[in-house]
Amino acid sequence: MSLQRTLVSLTLLALAAAIPSPARAEQNARGAEIFQLCVQCHGQAGEGNHVTLAPNIAGLPEWYLLAQLQNFHSGARGTNPEDTGGLRMYPMSQTLKTEDDIQAIAAYVAALPAVPSAPTLTGGDPAHGAQLYAVCQTCHGPDGAGNQALGSPRIAGQADWYLLSSLQKLKAGTRGGYPNAVIMRGMAGTLADEQAMKDVIAHIQSLSSYSAAR
């Protein structure tokens, strides 16, 4: 009888947890409202768009989305004249007038189902890339799932064109002056040329942690 009561209690707790609180429901509604501005570039499912230089953001960790939105909002990212994609995102971030709005859109996007990105790059050597990735896995993990403690995002499943663009900008120092960009500039600098970048990206695209990292 005691076991039965325990099971009933656990079931009720699970049901209660599944029902969003009024505050959470309000945040979800606000996030959905704000996201309608994002779909112009990132797509209805957050899948990204190469034409608009918008990455795949669906299901990225909430902590990472928060950090990047704050970087854009403060101007630590998206103000370099050579960062075309960032220059598009910076003014969009300014439409988020309050911290609550930043929290709401980050939570909403993080809850979107992950969308695998179709490959666009050719000529990468994943075997050579696996060797180069030895440096990357220190922060991003062997499966590309990322590491919140280090502020390193999940990169498995991200669009290959965006990974290449990011590596190029990080190596050139045009992605921004926030701490992780400074650290990543040194890491990107270990890749001798674009071919090396394509090789490591080919390896990243072979990783299978995209959904597991959710």
Query: Is residue 167 a part of any domain in this protein?
Result: yes
Place of tokens 């030895």: 134
**Structural domain harbouring 179:** 116-214
Residues 172 and 143 in one domain: yes
User: In whole angstroms, what is the distance from residue 29 CA to residue 34 CA?
Assistant: 9
Is 70 exceeded by the pLDDT of residue 88? yes
Query: Is residue 13 a part of any domain in this protein?
Result: no
Residues 149 and 201 in one domain: yes
Give the distance between the most distant pair of CA atoms in the chain. Answer: 69
What single string gives the DSSP state of each residue in 63-76? HHHHHHHHHHHHTS
Residues 211 and 122 in one domain: yes
Residues 214 and 127 in one domain: yes
Residues 135 and 169 in one domain: yes
Place of tokens 């799932």: 145
Query: Is residue 5 a part of any domain in this protein?
Result: no
Is 60 exceeded by the pLDDT of residue 5? no
C-alpha distances (whole Å) from 202 to each of 12, 44, 63, 159, 180 are 46, 27, 26, 11, 23
Query: Is residue 82 a part of any domain in this protein?
Result: yes
Q: CB neighbours of 208 closer than 8 A, spacing ≥ 6?
A: 143, 156
Residues 65 and 154 in one domain: no
Q: pLDDT digit string (tens) for 98-136? A: 999 999 999 999 999 999 899 999 999 999 999 999 999
Q: Say how many domains are in the chain.
A: 2
Q: pLDDT digit string (tens) for 164-192? A: 999 999 999 999 989 999 999 999 999 99
Can you give the pLDDT at residue 27? Answer: 87
Query: Is residue 18 a part of any domain in this protein?
Result: no
Q: pLDDT digit string (tens) for 36-55? A: 999 999 999 999 999 999 99
Query: Is residue 81 a part of any domain in this protein?
Result: yes
User: In whole angstroms, what is the distance from residue 185 CA to residue 107 CA?
Assistant: 28
Residues 137 and 172 in one domain: yes
Encoding tokens for residue 202? 């080919």
pLDDT confidence bin for 13, thresholds 50/70/90: very low
Residues 106 and 120 in one domain: no
C-alpha distances (whole Å) from 57 to each of 4, 157, 172 are 43, 10, 23
CATH number reported for the structural domain that contains residue 142 in this entry: 1.10.760.10
Give the residue from 115, 147, 168 where a domain finishes: 115
SS3 155: coil
When the pLDDT of each residue in the chain is averaged and rounded to a whole number, the result is: 89
Residues 180 and 191 in one domain: yes
Give the residue from 97, 115, 133 where a domain finishes: 115
User: In whole angstroms, what is the distance from residue 79 CA to residue 174 CA?
Assistant: 9
